Amino acid sequence: MDIAENNQLDIRNISPKVRQLIKMYAHVNKCKQSEMLERIVLEWNAQQSDSERPSGDEDE
């Protein structure tokens, strides 16, 4: 997935099946597809960040 110059996510590189799911999720959540995609990416990044971060107990 590319981020264009204006920081908009580029949906053209996403498979048609995933685009359809994003469209359905956007409809259910009453938002634009671009907003839904941004939410998905932000959530994915947050989960990746959490999984890479060691817990505080491991350092003690």
Query: pLDDT, tens digit, for every residue of 10-40?
Result: 667 788 998 899 999 999 999 998 899 889 8
In the DSSP assignment, the letter for residue 11 is G
In a domain, 4, yes or no: no
Residues of the domain holding 35 = 9-49
pTM, rounded to two decimals: 0.59
In a domain, 60, yes or no: no
Angle, in degrees to the nearest 10, between helices 33-52 and 16-28 = 100
In a domain, 29, yes or no: yes
Tally the domains of the chain.
1
pLDDT attached to residue 8: 56
Rounded Cα distance between 28 and 21, Å, is 11
Rounded Cα distance between 23 and 47, Å, is 22
In a domain, 39, yes or no: yes
In a domain, 22, yes or no: yes
Contacts of residue 41, Cβ cutoff 8 Å, sequence gap at least 6: 1, 9
In a domain, 16, yes or no: yes
